[in-house]
Structure 1
Amino acid sequence: MSNAPIPANEMDRLLNLAELDLDYTNYDESFDDLAKLAAKVAGTDISLVNLIDAYTQWSISRHGLDIEQMPREDSVCQYTVMGNTGFEVKDLSSDERFKDKFYVVDDPNLRYYYGVPLTSNGTNLGALCVLDEKIHEITPEKAELLKIIADEIVNRLKGIKLIKNLKNKLNEANEDKKKVAHDIRGPLGGIIGLAQVISEQGHENQIDEVLEFINMIHKSGRSILELADEILSSSEPRPLKADEFNLSLFKDKLEKLYMAQARNKKIKFAVNISPENANTPFSKNKLLQIVGNLISNAIKFTPEQGDVTVSMDIESHEGSAILRIKVSDTGIGLNQEGINKILDGNMQSNTGTGGEVGYGFGLALVKHLIESLNGKLHIDSQVGQGTSFKVSIPVVRS
């Protein structure tokens, strides 16, 4: 496919998708009922909930077909996101755009497709699609029901994001509670100490009423101090918050998401981390979108039997920390003009080493997201000798 369909608002579309901050792997149960309902309404064996980023179509929920991802240029849904109404292909095997695709030529030998865009803030994030081995007909009534299901999928995506934000705020509130407990220990300790001194002096003066009153203060203060100690002790060790990664978890997530892409192209893919900093927590905000796009780009421009390697570490100095990420490949490389175009946000689409279609927005999105986190992007490359993208992002500590 030489002319890839690109929505006129592609950058806004990618930014809206990035704003949801999804990892594409944890949502099966959230949408399984809607995927099954869509197939039931359409009378098809298969339905998928697909989100499309700059390089990949991610199937976050599946009914009747076990597939998690495919290159964007192989998908039918890339045409669905071009419009605001349903997109139908009566027979995939007779359509020049799709007749040679693996899902048409090989098992499951698909023929029919109908997709409805998943629209949020005026952009299409992906599509709800129904598919079958046989030709079907989608009546206007069925099309309207599928549109309602698609709208509910978008509402749930937004709801999941809202719940994540609320959990983060709750975690912050709990941290504030622990800080308050820590802060009151000092004053309470002073009050108890003072009460102890007065109690001892009062005993010498034998002022029974004062002694009884001060003993009550001393007892109450001691109880509150014990409560503060109990709150503080419960915070160790602190588990990761909902909005946090550590290097170990981030490594596992990247391998789960992108190992299949690399294997399909016969590329060796590895993620290396610093063992001594493997459990240091840091914000996961936009990191999957940043590193994921860099990995997809590296796979695209690396030939078979090549290498794509991700290296990650956290550098700490003078009370601050920096997350260092390097995505290196043994691909076709860039000249200085190409490097400058990326850094200036003017990189154009190119065809990958395996004929993959480029969309020209993945690296522009990466640069935008890195800058939104006050980070920096550096590129080392030579034509024919591969490329290294180096990302530095300040670590925001709780």
Structure 2
Amino acid sequence: MSSVPWPSDEAGRLAELQALHALDVLPEPSFTAIAALAAFACRAPIALVNLISATGQHFKGRCGTAAPGMDRRIAFCPHAICERSLLEVPDALADPRFRDDPLVSGEPYVRFYAGVPVLSHDHALGTVCVMDHRPRRLSDAQRQALATLANDAAGLLQLHHHAARTDQVLARLRRIDAVKNQFLRTVNHELRTPLASIRSSVQLVRDGDLDAAAQERFLEMIDRNSLRLEQLLDELLLMASLNAGSAAFTPARVNLAALARDAVHAVTAQGRTGQLAMAVHAPPAVMAWADPGRVRHALAHLVDNAVKFTPTGGAVTVTVTAGPAPAVEVADTGVGIEEHDLDHVFDDFYRGDGTEDHAIGGTGVGLALVKKIARMHGGDVRIDSRPGAGTRVRLTLAAAPRNAVPAT
């Protein structure tokens, strides 16, 4: 068996195969129909739509064989994609390139081969080919039929690719529409609830039938709900600015351990209410290159989520580690996250089933903001969770340069 040639555009050819996802499904009925037509038109017992990867030959469509494919180094098709035109071998035993090929010297004892490259964007991705057990030649009409079917196979690869992308876009649009509707419902509730409380409190104060202590309580309620509205609007504006790439970013050398301790301290009272064990494991200083305000915001969301989703008597543990990528890990023993929600928890305004099931408020921007803030810092955030087994979220940042100026 002679050495197998390699196309000069091999890198581009393989990149296009991958971009088209042409090898994802093998075989496919529509390509098997092309192979059957090739066998019928050429009066051949074996016909293939054969796509050639870096290491193998993959039968996208097949007729007369049950094999799924074969090694890249075997047989005729690798020669055909290099010649980029019809390759016809009337008698393989008489051709020094193929007479020792396993398909010729053994099963299925191929003596005749004809293949036309499947050309897409000027790359030969594979062939439409026919094989026979006896020496022969194609007629001009059969050669034309084979060329037409190869062209059809190329067009079908493109159509399948665009159809798959269209399905993905439609699914994405449906997902966006669902999230938008969920966001509108959530924000409507999050806005109306404090507004209703403010209006009723104002009305009671205006009526003037309250004693001084009661009036003070209602004024505090107005102040608390006003702050809640302000925080909600700030979150929405921050989300918009991060999405637009216009959010302020002033990194400096900061102590990540101190920021983590501050985040836990801010929710200590809330944790005590739920009788949670709150712990921070961190060295005195873990220096990172970060915008302290943004990181403080992200950590506040992570710790607050851990507290909200952990039932009474549970534990929330925050661990800070140093290294090339300093990190904060927030682990809880809470309700966990369903597997189907894990792929979406970082999406804008996404609220998983658990938030509704456990009547936990929020707008669905928290983890989305954490992800965007992490990426702003050249870091990342990862989440590991199982229903009933708690959640572990790890936020990583960039290490602080030695000569960086500390944040004030």
TM-score normalised by structure 1 residue count = 0.49
Structure with larger RCO (C-alpha < 8 A, sep 6+): 1
Answer with 1 or 2: which has the greater Rg. 2
TM-score normalised by structure 2 residue count = 0.48
